[in-house]
Amino acid sequence: MENSEIKQSYAIDVIAGDGIGQEVMPPAIACIDMLAAKHDFTITWRERDWSSERYLRDGTMMPANGIEQLADGDGIFLGAVGTPDIPDHITLWGLLIPIRRDFMQYINLRPTKLLPGLKPRVTGADSIDLLVVRENVEGEYSELGGRAYRGRPEELAIQEALFTRRGVERVARFALDLASRRSGRLVSATKSNGIIHSMPFWDEVIDEVGKEFSSVTIEPVLIDALAARGVLRPDTLDVVVASNLFGDILSDLLSAAAGSIGIAPSANLNPEHEFPSLFEPVHGSAPDIAGKGLANPIGQMWAGAMMLEHLGQKAAAAELTGAFESVVALGHSTPDLGGSLSTEEFTAAVIEQINT
Ligand code: GGG
């Protein structure tokens, strides 16, 4: 898209949500507002109080017409979801998962990068720069199944995973395209030795779509071995395609290996731009540190940079990532990265970088 064709004013729905979501959202918005002024675009933030607090008050995480309210926006900026007071499946299926599904955000793109100046936590690898492409609307996250005989010795639970040809083909195509524009290497997370229906199907479809991308080598790796490799040699990974559950677990593990889950961003993309996409940090609401000023705002800021990139504001996106990277490279960070700055102090340092 030429710069002249890019919209210059956006409506973004903000759902800060629960726990540290409330603490990391204002820093990200402050940075983006400064960059918007610098790069001549405007953002109208439409704040939604959709959260566990709302659930405890009204019995729902979002209003009945919540999806309709978001539909005409240019994007959704989410903080975190979850509280110890409500079972996690209620909060997640009451807010985040319906948004992903109703807006057909079938790609969850999760980068992991070793930020300049940081040492990897559990590995000797001195360079990590990879992308997990997680299938985001089907797979193991499925409503298929049920529970019976509650409270009796015969009690049981059945949880089905759903893999469709269309669903696997489109995530494969997205990941293969990315790999073709990077190293030409795609690792596919599988478990076709133990899971005898869905995973061999996953492997076959990835292979079939792979024929469209002659420049890409596909390496299927069993998820258990891939988890070990993610800890020991994340530098050998570039683009990884994974099912909904495997991608979720693997991206947490990889970001922790690269320093902290607090820095990891996530873009829930509707690649066709038919519906708004959603941008969030990978981390959850972290009730153990909530309210203490310890949360690392990088995950939320980086998610904001991915949002700017998706909106076509590439220069502002690069400036935002450059700003927090510079602060970390100067040796300043929140405690999860070994530093002693509070959320507020770290944010002030990032804002100073943007101003210079
Ligand atoms: N940042 C949003 C959030 O709170 N995520 C927590 C979580 O458990 N997410 C599960 C998922 O991404 O599927």
Model confidence pLDDT, tens digit, residues 61-105: 999 999 999 999 999 999 999 999 999 999 999 999 999 999 999
* Atom number in ligand 1 closest to CA 97: 13
61 pocket-lining for ligand 1 (C-beta < 6 Å): no
Confirm if 251 and 48 have CB atoms less than 8 A apart.
no
| Range in 5-14, 289-298, 325-334 the model is least confident about | 5-14
State the DSSP string of 101-136: HHTT--EEEEEEE--TTPPPSS---S--EEEEEEE-
Domains of the chain: 1-106+264-356 (3.40.718.10), 119-258 (3.40.718.10)
pLDDT of residue 6: 79
Give the start-end residues of each E strand in the chain. 9-17, 42-47, 75-80, 107-113, 129-135, 145-148, 156-159, 185-190, 217-222, 239-242, 265-269, 278-281
Query: Which residue CA neighbors atom 9 of ligand 1 most closely?
Result: 284
Task: Give the ipTM.
Answer: 0.94
pLDDT tens profile 160-177: 999 999 999 999 999 999
* Atom number in ligand 1 closest to CA 17: 4
Q: For the residues 145-166, what does the mean pLDDT come to? A: 98
pLDDT tens profile 175-226: 999 999 999 999 999 999 999 999 999 999 999 999 999 999 999 999 999 9
The C-alpha atoms of residue 134 and residue 112 are separated, in whole angstroms, by 13
280 pocket-lining for ligand 1 (C-beta < 6 Å): yes
248 pocket-lining for ligand 1 (C-beta < 6 Å): yes
265 pocket-lining for ligand 1 (C-beta < 6 Å): no
User: Where does residue 236 rank: exposed (0-12), middle (13-18), buried (19+ CB within 10 A)?
Assistant: middle
* This prediction's pTM: 0.96
